Every structure is written in structure tokens, then in C-alpha cells.
Amino acid sequence: MSLAQLAGLLADPTRAEFCTALLDGRAWTAGELARHAGVAPSTASEHLSRLIAGGLLAEERQGRHRYVRLAGPAAATLIEDLSTYADTTAPTQPPPRNLRDSTRMSAEARARTCYDHLAGRLGVAVTDALLERGLVADRDGLTITRRGRAWLADVDIELPDRTGRKGGRPVVRSCLDWTERRSHLGGALGAALCRTALDRAWVERIGSGRALRVTADGHRALRELLGVEMESGRGDG
Amino acid sequence: MSLAQLAGLLADPTRAEFCTALLDGRAWTAGELARHAGVAPSTASEHLSRLIAGGLLAEERQGRHRYVRLAGPAAATLIEDLSTYADTTAPTQPPPRNLRDSTRMSAEARARTCYDHLAGRLGVAVTDALLERGLVADRDGLTITRRGRAWLADVDIELPDRTGRKGGRPVVRSCLDWTERRSHLGGALGAALCRTALDRAWVERIGSGRALRVTADGHRALRELLGVEMESGRGDG
DNA sequence: GGCACGGTTCGGTGAGCGCCGAACCGTGCC
DNA sequence: GGCACGGTTCGGCGCTCACCGAACCGTGCC
């Protein structure tokens, strides 16, 4: 299989969306993915067949359901690397064109999702706090510590089942932040934190983009759980 | 920029060929790349513009020449990771179908190119020899040692100019070998070794595929320079 | 100035492919 | 058996895009 063929698998928005969704490490049914991406089941079926044939996804048939998941940690890493690069690489528009863009960029610099985890000053602050408190360690790349696992259980955050095991997603990955020029937290842990923050309304999306607003609950949770003081969402952007 | 857009840049065989060629870390002119890939200059020009706009390539204009190179080490890593995955991932044909395929697979298992460096038993043997002799060290990932640089100068192998510097290709990268299930040497060093081996006729390509044959000169060079004893190319496949 | 040449732009062509709906298949439930 | 439903296959449609040749622009050499 050639480089172009492999890239071609991910070059379609629908297939990319499938892979992005599957990065949570769980297995989805064909129908779930079809609905998630907003395409007909027939279309999804064809896409899945191609992704499986290309070695990016693996399938498990159960009765009349076709469960698919990422083929392995290498696949997850690959997709995450590509997403990171896609996010990191600045488009051809360094200078914001107008007030609307400028506002949006400020908001994204403050807090946004990078793919499926937190980025911007919020993402970096959370990462720093985790490192400082010894919940995550930086030796030969980032790893979660025993204290970190205890802390997760403490605050009732669960990692997906297969995380860190063979075929699962790596627990922690560092992801370069293009606004902060620093690393923030990716991997399954980053995704779990982001999902938790959204589920518990610590942050909420601003409009339809990637920018996030930290809620009052969120400020409180960040302070109590991690000792992170985030700036307010209004009046400084 | 989205994952799909980024992947789309690499999804075209011509553009992928450009990026592959540029992985040597040097800057090529538009015309060189066009001839290399076998397309019209106009076609190449459009491809280059897209790759540059997408942040994968950077350009430097000099007089009437347009020099392009990879945008940075992250781009090189990304392309190399994709190539590695594309090579590593087994096509849908684990069992060799006939004698011809079986012969080819044996040859590739013995020695082949993985992208632009050596793989198969040959690649792993060379990597092991470099590690054993302290020319490459494995601390926080593979790195070339001072002795390694001296050895390179000794045997008259040059790394591309920008290697290891900002914007250049990483010197050494480990690349998982699918036949050996072990790591072998990628990165600029792996590429330089492979190019040297081909230039000095230590190995030669078998037909048009990726399989390599170690020549008599090659056996001698491997033994003298690295203490590597390779099996013969015939009679055992 | 004039020519050679590297590179770009533009229009047109053709192929590939992503999409859908319709028909079909198999599983699982009633 | 009969029905509901998840998934697949197939045919057809329309768009995208990679390609080329021709015309054009700018640089550098004579």
C-alpha cells in the first residue's frame, strides 16, 4: 500500500470523521457512525469496507451488527498526529482579517478543543497542573502515574476500556499547541478530561467552532481539583 | 485546516512522490520534481502551490528558480510516519498466492527498502550493528553518537545539510519492521545509508519492486564496516 | 535588445469517486 | 411464518480534480 493510498483513505471528510470518532478507543456500529457523520447507511458501509481493507480499522461482527474500531495503537497515533499537524499548521491567514475573526481567534487562544482534547491556555494550564501535582510524569514521554490513576477514580473520570492496552489508544500523548508554543495533553486521558469537562458543563462551546467558554462551575472545578485559576471568559478578548 | 484536507494533500500519487523525494532534507526546484515524478511543469507548479498553502512545504525563490523543501521536522516526521504505516500495514493477502509471490516475499523479508531506508533482515542487522558498536544510542529514542558521526566521516557518508537542525529531518528514527517485528533505522541516517549502499552497489534492486539483493561488494563492505554477516541472496529463498 | 528557459496561469477534458435511493440479504424478535 | 431492522450491493448522478497544452511572465545570459 502506498503513501498516497493511505492518505486517500483519510482524505474524505466522512472517513476522517469516522476515524476521529473512533479515536475514543471504543467500537462503534456502522449505523452509529453513519448517523454521527450524517450520511446514508449504504455510504457508511462502503467507507468502512475501505478503511478496513486499508488496515486502519478492524471489525468484529456480532449478530446483525458490525462493530468497528481502530486497528491498533499505531492507527490511533497516526490519526492523532495528522489531526495535530492539521490543527497546528497555520492556515494562510496569520493576520486576522476583521473584528469577528479577531474575536474568534482570541477566544480560541484562551480555550478550545484540539481535535478531541483541550487546547489553548486552558489546555496548557491543565497539563501543567497535572505535571506539577505528579498526576502525570514526563519521563520518556508523558505517562500517567499511580497517583494520577487514583485521582481519576477520585473525581470519577473513566478512561475507555482498551486504553493503554494492546490495540487501545495511548493513555497520554503530548500535542504541540500552536498558540502557546507549548505541549498540552492529548491521548485518551486528554480526551477523557475534555469529555468530562463538556459533560459536566465546566466548559461549553461558543457557537459552532472549536472555541470554548469556561463556565462558573468550570472555574470552581478547575480551582478545587487542580488549583488552576483561569481568566474570565469575557472582557479580555 | 481539517484532517481530511491535510490527508488530501498527500492522497495524490504525484504530491506524495514530491514529499517522498523531499524527505532527503534538501531543497529541490519545481522542474526537478516535475521530471522526477513524470508530470508537466504546469502540473507540478499547481501541486507545489497546494502543498505550500497546506503548510507541508516551504519555498525559497532564487532568481527564476523556485526551491521547495519540507516545511519542517514535523512535516518530515508526519510523512515518514504515514509511509511507515503504509508499508507496515499488511495488505489483504497474508497467505502468498503462488510461487512468484512467495519468492518475492522471501526476497523482501531478506532485504528491501522501506520507503527510503533499509528494512527486512538486512535493515535490522545493520541497526543492531550500529547499536552494538555504539555508533547509535538508544536513550529517549535513537540518537547518533559522537563516535557515530566520526564513523560516518570515516566511511565517507554524508548526511544532508539541514539534518537534525531546525527545519531539517531528524537524524535517526526507529521504524517498526513488519517481517522482523523489530525496529530498524529510519530518518536521515537510514536514508543516507540506503543511498550509499545503492550508490556503491552494495545492494541492487531486484526487478522493479522494493526487494534488494546484497552484492559481493556489499557482503564485504558489511563485514568490514559493521561486522555484519548477511546470508547469500540465492538458494535460501 | 533579443533569446532561452524556468515557472505560472488558464481553459478544457476525462476519470475517479462520494453520494444517494432502491433492491436485496441475513439476523433476531414476535 | 412473518415482520422489523441492520447492513450490503448496485446503478446512476454530479462534482471534484489531476492532467495537459498553449499562452504568458520574469529572470538571466548573450
Residues of A (132-191) placing their beta carbon closer than 7 angstroms to any atom of strand C are none
CA B105, CA B96: separation in Å to the nearest integer? 8
Residue in B3, B13, B56 closest to A20 by CB: B3
pTM of the model: 0.79
Chain A residues in contact with B176 by the CB 8 A cut-off are 74
Phi, psi of A66 (to 5 degrees): -115, 105
What average pLDDT does this structure show over B116-137? Answer: 90
In this prediction, residue A141 carries a pLDDT of: 61
Q: Do A1 and B89 touch (CB under 8 A)?
A: yes
Give pLDDT, residue B193.
93
Work out the average pLDDT over B137-151: 81
Q: Which residue has the higher pLDDT, A169 or A92?
A: A169
A175 or B134: which leads in pLDDT: B134
In chain A, pLDDT over 70 holds for what percent of residues? 85
Is there a contact between A16 and B4 if contact means CB atoms under 8 Å apart? yes
**A104 in Cβ contact with A92 (< 8 Å):** no
Q: Which of 64-103 (A) contact B at CB < 8 A? A: 71, 74-75, 77-79, 81-83, 85-92
Task: Give A175 or A213, the one with higher predicted confidence.
Answer: A213
SS (H, E, C) A55-75: CCEEEEEECCEEEEEECCHHH
Distance CA B48, CA B68 (A): 8
User: What's residue A93's pLDDT?
Assistant: 43
Q: Is the pLDDT of residue A172 over 70?
A: yes
**Higher per-residue pLDDT: B88 or A30:** A30
Smallest CA–CA distance, residue B51 to chain A, in Å, is 12
A237 touches chain B (CB under 8 A): no
- pLDDT score for A201: 93
Which tens digits make up the pLDDT trace of B169-224? Answer: 777 877 767 677 677 888 888 889 998 998 899 998 886 567 889 999 999 999 99
Instruction: Give the residue-averaged pLDDT of A163-174.
Output: 67
Using alpha carbons, select from A66, A90, A55 the residue that is nearest to residue A178.
Answer: A90
pLDDT, residue A54, reads: 92
Alpha helices for chain B (secondary structure H): 3-10, 13-22, 30-37, 41-53, 73-88, 99-110, 120-132, 146-154, 187-199, 216-226
Assign A117 a pLDDT band (cuts: 50, 70, 90). Answer: confident
Check if the beta carbon of residue A172 is closer than 8 Å to that of residue A189.
yes
Give yes or no for a contact between A136 and A172, defined as CB atoms under 8 angstroms apart: yes
Q: What is the mean pLDDT of chain A?
A: 83
A-B contacts at Cβ under 8 angstroms: 105
Q: Which residue shows C-alpha cell 489483504?
A: B92
What residues of chain A lie within 8 A of the CB of B83, using their CB?
3
Any A CB within 8 A of B138 CB: no
The residue behind cell 564496516 is B225
Nearest to A82 among B7, B54, B83 (CB): B7
The answer on pLDDT for B95 being more than 80 is no
Q: Report how far residue A185's alpha carbon sits from residue A194's, in angstroms, rounded to the nearest whole number.
A: 10
Interatomic CA distance for residues A72 and A58, integer angstroms: 8
Q: What is the dihedral of CA A230, A234, A237, B1, to 10 degrees?
A: 80
